[in-house]
Amino acid sequence: MIIVTDLSRTPELTDMAARLGIVNGQPFLVGEDGSFDRVLNTFLRSLVDPASPRPNTWRTYAYHLARFLKWLAQQEIAWRQVNRDVLRAYYTARRFVQTRPISARTWNNVAAALTRFYAWAVVAGEVPATPVSYREIRAGRIAAVPGIRPLRSSLTEHVSSIPVRYVPLRIYLSKVRPAFGGTRTAERDRAFADLLLATGMRVAEANSLLLADLPDPDAPECWGKKTIPLTLKRGTKGGKVRVIRIPIHVLRTVYRYVAEDRENALADISMSQRPAELWVTETGAPMKTARWHDVFRRASKTSGNQCTPHMLRHAFAIHQLTAMIQRLISDPTYRTDPHQPYRTLLKDPLRQLQRLLGHASLASTFIYLDCLEEVDRMIDDSLGDWTVPLQTRDEPR
């Protein structure tokens, strides 16, 4: 089983953890009988590295490694004896044989964990060679470095691009949002969903918020404003700090949850023992990310419309990009301002959206262009215009 270090719950162990070189969020593998495998856990400790700086990555690798080791035990195969045939059999079992086969994208996460584990094992002298083979990348986005051939793990499966799945605002308001009702945590669940949709936060980012992080919508500096900036410092991808904007009316919805659902959940807990986390369960414990996915699954089943936290992030991106493009086009200075190219760059909706979403690359943000009706209309107008000369004419035969 996997044990994850959580020093926020055991602050008395902070000094000991520092002496042992253990950081918060670091996972360990422990046998069902309490046994501790030194080699496997040395690998997990090696993940605390600039190449994988986030606890989410550590936990993901630990989970995939633990599941692989469990499968090996069922096959009575030692991990040091694994070869390409064994890896191929595991791939077949996970992707095609089991009751709920995993997707190609999920398998690639498994492949990344196993590839890194065996690469580490070779360097550590635990195995003479890795069972993972590599193939040369002939084309793609990876820039070539002179004298170095770009390689990819042979375990990695090619994944075709798929359309962005999101929840249109009208469906969210009429079907999905009401489906969060009917429970003791309705105020909490609706506030959380509204926050994701209105800010584009990832579920882990929103769940990492502390009560003290919430800005005051009635502060003088917020008067006359529609949105309030909020700096995200925890739970972000790659550990990058970024600033988002929260609509004031959505922030007030969150504060209603704080005053009602959250206060009711913490009523029997003394002030000194109350959690700092914003989102809590009915019993007052901090919410886990996995529980949010359960909440959304129930709402999806009730509404008959699939909705995941990430689909709301996509919805934010599409609606916000559409609104920014419309505002830019309707700006009377857009075509007349002599400094228009420079100012357009500053107002570039894609770059603004990239910053709000926290994308490391603008290429990640480009996927939303395919979802915009404005793009379809622009193509329709432009293609219709320049092809006018091709209209059928009576020509000599």
Nearest to 84 by CA among 118, 133, 156: 133
Q: What is the pLDDT of residue 336?
A: 57
- CATH 1.10.443.10 at 169-314, yes or no: yes
Q: Which DSSP state fits 36?
A: B
String of DSSP letters for 46-110: HTSBTTB--HHHHHHHHHHHHHHHHHHHHHT--GGG--HHHHHHHHHIIIIISSSPPPHHHHHHH
Within 232-360, residue ranges assigned H as helices are 248-257, 263-265, 289-303, 309-330, 333-336, 340-347, 349-357
Cα end-to-end distance, the chain, whole Å = 80
Q: What is the pLDDT of residue 366?
A: 78
Q: Which DSSP state fits 159?
A: -
Mean pLDDT for back-to-back runs of 10 residues, the chain (397 residues): 64 65 74 81 83 75 92 94 93 86 88 92 94 65 43 70 81 95 93 95 94 92 89 83 92 95 93 93 93 96 95 92 80 59 60 85 78 64 65 58
- CATH 2.70.98.90 at 2-134, yes or no: no
Here the tokens at position 90 are 């595991």
Q: What is the pLDDT of residue 174?
A: 94
In the block, tokens 């630990």 appear at 62
Q: What is the pLDDT of residue 374?
A: 57
In the block, tokens 């009730």 appear at 302
Q: What is the pLDDT of residue 328?
A: 76
Say if residues 173 and 379 touch (Cβ distance below 8 Å).
Answer: no
Q: What is the pLDDT of residue 378?
A: 57
Interval 40-57: pLDDT, tens: 888 988 888 766 657 778
Q: Which residue ranges does the chain devote to CATH 1.10.443.10?
A: 169-314
Interval 144-180: pLDDT, tens: 444 444 456 678 877 666 677 889 899 999 999 999 9
Q: Which residue ranges does the chain devote to CATH 1.10.150.130?
A: 2-134
Q: What 3-state class would DSSP assign to 311?
A: helix
